[in-house]
Amino acid sequence: MNLKPRRHEEPEINVVSLIDVVLLLVVFFMLSSRFTDEGRVRVHLPTANGVPPEAAHSEPLVVTVTQEGSYRVNEKELINSSPDTLRAALLKEAGTNRTLRVTIRADARATHQSVITAMDVLGRLGFADLNIATVKEGPAGKP
């Protein structure tokens, strides 16, 4: 009978191969991932100061889009809501002046397509200074 205690070896885990695999995964993901470059997109942020802007020399052009999708140019109702009619009315009101400030007043329940159509017609005519009119919301969420 052997009364000597057996030598009990502590189990060990060889982590060298695990470190190799993790290092290879890190290198793989670093080489295969695409990092976005925030400097590529140029954003011109608006500036504001306490001085009010100079008054425009000419009357601004106002295009109103109603809930039904019809248009008014300087509060003159158009005969139909086609883009050609809107284009003709804008040409009549603005003439050859494409530097006019144009304000789009769209009803909150107007379709998005009718507003985009008005913006598209204005853009095709060469108007670049577009504003979209909004109302200031009241304190309790009511305009």
Structural domains of the chain in order of their starting residue, each with its CATH number:
61-132 (3.30.420.270)
Of 93, 105, 102, 109, nearest in space to 134 by CA: 105
Query: For residue 36, what pLDDT band results from cuts at 50, 70 and 90?
Result: low
Render pLDDT for 66-84 as a digit per residue (tens, 0 to 9).
Answer: 989 899 999 899 999 899 9
- Model confidence, pTM: 0.56
Tokens of 114: 């009718």
For the four alpha carbons of 68, 71, 74 and 77, in that order, the dihedral sign comes to negative
Query: For residue 11, what pLDDT band results from cuts at 50, 70 and 90?
Result: confident
Q: Amino acid identity of 63?
A: V
